[in-house]
């Protein structure tokens, strides 16, 4: 049974996790023009989840986050490959990327590229793999 | 631009990833596995016909022209290997259905099998040195899991050795790439070839080429094969068969590619060293093959002999030698898988790998016995079968190049190979049968079909050698003239006076 005197850890975690998640998403979206991208974004997000695992026990976190991380990693890779196949459908070479500018309601004029879908796949694969490793090792104990 | 080139890589990858999601549905995975490999085979058959009609096919990924993007290039050599490896892996997969066991099947055996093929196909097709490294890693990481899947004691022990050796060789590979990039400044094979030709292959570049030889030698089991006998006898039969058929062949392919396309200027140094290494490989492998009374060990050492023999063809540097190397490479992929499947079946029936405990199998398993006989003769190079043509050409090539000692060692080791497999045949299949229905450890139901198919293939390859000649001729032409490859990848104006 867990000790009950980790109030400070729990309170700090509640705030810190939000900050880390925001930072992870920021890293993910800034990848095109600044340091960042799918790999670090995914790792930072996995860090946030790991912090949750450390503070609360794995079962209760898993209850609130019912995701099969192995399937998540596979889906990520599938998304990444299929963005490449998308280029083939338009009779371009595999992995040809397309981009365009859109007027989004909140952000104004924004550049959207298919490279971002590829990055999303990378991020999902990284999160899925990292979490699978951590959960598998901890379950064996 | 030809998007077909990427299909042999992404078909197994997409299918494998999908299989990870539907982990529990084994029957769906089996059907998908067969479809994916058959699709890959069909694509490579189409590629072969395209290459025959209109030369080397190239794909610049993402539309970025070479040498700035990653290029994929399929000449006849890689397309032939692609087709052969798809056919052989299809039969290994079918063999696995009956033999691999439910535990391994639900723990991602089929996805890993397909990821292994992704890496192998990628290595055959890529036109970029770093991408070759990545494809090697895709292949190796799948093979790490495949060698340890199931978690028996011997598998765990051997997988530690296997992983250590390959991590070491991969880091050497990376260092070699770094050296080459620092001196030449490019990673595209075709551009490398142009730059090395312009710079003249000086001492530094030759030294780097020898580092590559060590790296690929570790992967292929060329002289540095100390890790191979243990690793290949640990995993279950279907996995060991696909390892023996494909993994070392990717190393051999890389050596042939590097030393015919990029580092072909100093054959007196590099090719002679390859020749000496392959002679030693053949001798040591053959000694291992005749020394043991363990079926697994005998056929594993035969893999090593085959590696030495193929690279003897490259060492000769003549068109005949390369023709022989290509024939023998294709033959070797098929016959090594066949030999491992039969060996594994014998062990499954008798429950032991020790030849002294087995005899008289031919009375209960005549088909298996005669198919092993054919495989053994084919391996040794008896005329109507597939091993013959390759051996003739390689021997002719080495004699022509003046390496008579190399050809002689090749012929001598052929005798030793024949002795080693005939030892299995005479001790295991002939003699008094003490094996009755009740003390058989396993059944051959469903296992004989892939074996029979591969046997038919090795006979067909030997009888139909004339028909393959048109294709292997094209392969040799592109290997002997690097300018064809460079022109296909980079376009006309890059090819200097040659």
Query: For residue range A67-79, what is the model confidence (pLDDT) as tens digits?
Result: 899 999 999 999 9
| Subunit contact A93:B60, Cβ cutoff 8 A | yes
Placement of tokens 């190393």 in the chain: B251
Q: Is B271 exposed, middle or buried (0-12, 13-18, 19+ CB in 10 A)?
A: buried
Q: Please, which pLDDT band fits residue B445 given cuts at 50, 70 and 90?
A: confident
| Closest residue in A to B11 (Cα–Cα) | A81
In the prediction, which pLDDT does B436 show? 55
In the prediction, which pLDDT does B357 show? 85
> Could you say which DSSP state residue B354 is in?
B
Residues 6+ apart with CB under 8 A from B468: B327, B330, B461
Residues in chain A: 141
CB of B145 less than 8 A from some CB of A: no
* B61 vs A75, A81, A93: nearest CB: A93
Pairs of residues, one from chain A and one from chain B, whose beta carbons lie less than 8 Å apart: 47
Cβ neighbours of B17 in A, within 8 Å: 74-75, 77-78, 81
Question: Per residue in B378-418, pLDDT tens?
Answer: 999 888 888 899 999 999 999 999 999 999 999 999 999 99
Q: Report the SS3 class of residue B498.
A: coil
Q: Please, which pLDDT band fits residue A3 given cuts at 50, 70 and 90?
A: low
Rounded Cα distance between B53 and B296, Å, is: 43
Residues in chain B: 498
Cβ neighbours of A74 in B, within 8 Å: 17-18, 20-21
In the prediction, which pLDDT does B322 show? 94
- The answer to whether the beta carbons of residues B295 and B346 sit under 8 Å apart is yes
Placement of tokens 């993994």 in the chain: B247
Structure tokens at B489: 């990848």
Q: Please, which pLDDT band fits residue A60 given cuts at 50, 70 and 90?
A: confident
Cβ neighbours of B61 in A, within 8 Å: 93-95
- The answer to whether the beta carbons of residues B134 and B61 sit under 8 Å apart is no
In the prediction, which pLDDT does B424 show? 92
Q: Where are the domains of chain A?
A: 6-139
Rounded Cα distance between B167 and B192, Å, is: 25
Rounded Cα distance between B373 and B362, Å, is: 11
Does pLDDT of A47 surpass 90? yes
Does pLDDT of A141 surpass 70? no
Structure tokens at B174: 């990376």
Backbone angles phi, psi at B73, to 5 degrees: -135, 135
Question: Per residue in A118-130, pLDDT tens?
Answer: 999 999 999 999 9
Does pLDDT of B441 surpass 90? no
Q: Which residues pair with B271 in a beta bridge?
A: none
Cβ neighbours of B22 in A, within 8 Å: none
CB of B130 less than 8 A from some CB of A: no
| Closest residue in B to A89 (Cα–Cα) | B3
Rounded Cα distance between B385 and B165, Å, is: 35
Q: Please, which pLDDT band fits residue B67 given cuts at 50, 70 and 90?
A: confident
Rounded Cα distance between A38 and B269, Å, is: 46
* A77 vs B6, B17, B61: nearest CB: B17
Helix (H) or strand (E) holding A109: strand A108-113
In the prediction, which pLDDT does A93 show? 87
Residues of chain B numbered 11-30 and touching chain A (CB < 8 Å): 13-14, 17-18, 20-21, 23
- The answer to whether the beta carbons of residues B373 and B365 sit under 8 Å apart is no
Question: Per residue in B326-374, pLDDT tens?
Answer: 999 999 999 999 999 999 999 988 888 888 888 888 888 889 999 999 9
Q: How far is B61 from chain A (nearest CA, A)?
A: 5
Rounded Cα distance between A2 and B197, Å, is: 69
- The answer to whether the beta carbons of residues A31 and A41 sit under 8 Å apart is yes
The mean predicted confidence, pLDDT, of chain B is 91
Cβ neighbours of A82 in B, within 8 Å: 14
Does pLDDT of B230 surpass 60? yes
Beta strand pairing status for A108-113 and A99-104?
Answer: antiparallel
Does pLDDT of B136 surpass 80? yes
Residues 6+ apart with CB under 8 A from B160: none
Does pLDDT of B146 surpass 70? yes
| Subunit contact A93:B63, Cβ cutoff 8 A | yes
- The answer to whether the beta carbons of residues B458 and B336 sit under 8 Å apart is no
Q: Tabulate helix, strand, coil % of chain B (nearest 5).
A: 80, 5, 20
> Could you say which DSSP state residue B98 is in?
H
| Subunit contact B1:A70, Cβ cutoff 8 A | no
Helix (H) or strand (E) holding A139: helix A114-140
Does pLDDT of A4 surpass 90? no
Cβ neighbours of A78 in B, within 8 Å: 14, 17-18
| Closest residue in B to A95 (Cα–Cα) | B62
In the prediction, which pLDDT does B498 show? 45
- The answer to whether the beta carbons of residues B110 and B30 sit under 8 Å apart is yes
Does pLDDT of A85 surpass 70? yes
Residues 6+ apart with CB under 8 A from A95: A83, A84, A87, B61, B62
Does pLDDT of B246 surpass 70? yes
Q: Which residues pair with A110 in a beta bridge?
A: A102
| Subunit contact A71:B59, Cβ cutoff 8 A | no
pTM of the model: 0.94
* pLDDT mean over B437-459: 80
Question: Per residue in B160-215, pLDDT tens?
Answer: 999 999 999 999 999 999 999 999 999 999 999 999 999 888 899 999 999 999 99
| Subunit contact A75:B3, Cβ cutoff 8 A | no
Residues 6+ apart with CB under 8 A from B380: B387, B414, B415, B417, B418, B421
Helix (H) or strand (E) holding B71: strand B71-74
Q: Please, which pLDDT band fits residue A16 given cuts at 50, 70 and 90?
A: very high
Rounded Cα distance between A55 and A15, Å, is: 12
Does pLDDT of A43 surpass 80? yes
* B62 vs A77, A78, A93: nearest CB: A93
| CA B23 to each of CA A71, B60, B105: distance values in angstroms, whole numbers, following the listed order | 9, 34, 9
Cβ neighbours of B59 in A, within 8 Å: 93-94
Q: What is the dihedral of CA B273, B278, B281, B285, to 10 degrees?
A: -170
Rounded Cα distance between A98 and B280, Å, is: 54
CB of A67 less than 8 A from some CB of B: no
| Subunit contact A81:B17, Cβ cutoff 8 A | yes
Q: How far is B170 from chain A (nearest CA, A)?
A: 22
- The answer to whether the beta carbons of residues B221 and B244 sit under 8 Å apart is no
Helix (H) or strand (E) holding B414: helix B404-424
Does pLDDT of B154 surpass 60? yes
Q: How far is A18 from chain B (nearest CA, A)?
A: 30
């Amino acid at each position: 049974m867990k000790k009950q005197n980790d109030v400070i850890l729990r309170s700090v975690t509640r705030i810190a996790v939000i900050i880390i998640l925001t930072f992870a998403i920021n890293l993910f979206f800034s990848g095109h023009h600044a340091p960042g991208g799918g790999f670090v974004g995914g790792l930072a997000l996995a860090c946030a989840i790991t912090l949750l695992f450390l503070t609360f026990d794995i079962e209760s976190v898993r209850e609130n986050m019912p995701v099969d991380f192995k399937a998540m990693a596979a889906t990520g890779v599938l998304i990444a490959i299929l963005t490449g196949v998308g280029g083939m459908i338009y009779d371009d070479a595999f992995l040809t990327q397309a981009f365009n500018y859109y007027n989004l309601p909140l952000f104004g004029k924004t550049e959207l590229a298919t490279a971002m879908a590829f990055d999303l796949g990378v991020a999902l694969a990284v999160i899925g793999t990292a979490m699978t490793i951590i959960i598998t090792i901890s379950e064996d104990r | 631009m030809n998007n077909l080139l990427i299909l042999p890589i992404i078909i197994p990858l997409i299918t494998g990833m999908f299989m990870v999601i539907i982990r529990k549905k084994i029957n769906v995975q089996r059907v998908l596995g067969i479809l994916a490999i058959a699709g890959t085979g069909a694509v490579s058959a189409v590629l072969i016909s395209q290459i025959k009609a209109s030369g080397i096919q190239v794909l610049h990924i993402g539309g970025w022209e070479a040498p700035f993007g990653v290029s994929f290039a399929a000449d006849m050599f890689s397309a032939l290997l692609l087709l052969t490896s798809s056919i052989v892996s299809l039969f290994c997969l079918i063999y696995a259905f009956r033999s691999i066991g439910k535990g391994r099947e639900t723990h991602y055996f089929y996805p890993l099998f397909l990821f292994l093929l992704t890496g192998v196909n990628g290595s055959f097709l890529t036109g970029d040195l770093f991408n070759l490294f990545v494809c090697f890693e895709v292949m190796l990481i799948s093979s790490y899991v495949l060698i340890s899947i199931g978690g028996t004691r011997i598998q765990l022990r051997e997988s530690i050795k296997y992983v250590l050796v390959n991590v070491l060789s991969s880091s050497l590979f990376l260092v070699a790439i770094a050296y080459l990039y620092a001196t030449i400044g490019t990673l595209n094979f075709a551009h490398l070839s142009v730059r090395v030709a312009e710079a003249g292959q000086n001492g530094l570049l030759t030294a780097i080429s020898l580092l590559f030889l060590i790296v690929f030698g570790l992967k292929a089991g060329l002289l540095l094969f100390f890790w191979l006998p243990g690793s290949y006898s640990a995993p279950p039969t279907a996995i060991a068969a696909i390892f023996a058929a494909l993994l070392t062949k990717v190393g051999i392919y890389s050596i042939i590619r590097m030393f015919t396309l990029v580092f072909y200027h100093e054959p007196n140094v590099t090719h002679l060293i390859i020749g000496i290494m392959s002679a030693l490989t053949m001798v040591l492998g053959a000694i291992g093959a005749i020394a043991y009374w363990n079926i697994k060990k005998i056929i594993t050492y035969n893999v090593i002999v085959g590696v030495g023999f193929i690279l003897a063809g490259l060492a000769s540097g003549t068109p005949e030698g390369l023709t022989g190397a290509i024939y023998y490479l294709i033959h070797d992929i098929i016959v090594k898988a066949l030999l491992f499947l039969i060996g594994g079946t014998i062990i499954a029936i008798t429950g032991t790998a020790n030849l002294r405990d087995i005899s008289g199998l031919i009375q209960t398993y005549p088909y298996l016995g005669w198919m092993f006989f054919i495989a053994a003769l084919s391996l040794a190079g008896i005329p109507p079968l597939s091993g013959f043509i390759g051996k003739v050409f390689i021997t002719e090539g080495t004699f022509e190049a003046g390496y008579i000692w190399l050809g002689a060692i090749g012929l001598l080791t052929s005798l030793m190979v024949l002795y080693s497999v005939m030892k299995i045949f005479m001790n295991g299949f002939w003699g008094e049968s003490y094996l009755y229905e009740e003390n058989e450890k396993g059944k051959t139901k469903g296992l004989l079909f892939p074996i029979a198919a591969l046997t038919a293939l090795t006979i067909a390859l030997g009888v139909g050698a004339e028909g393959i000649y048109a294709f292997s001729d094209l392969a040799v032409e592109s290997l002997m003239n690097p300018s064809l490859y460079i022109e296909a990848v980079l376009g006309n104006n890059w090819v200097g006076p040659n």
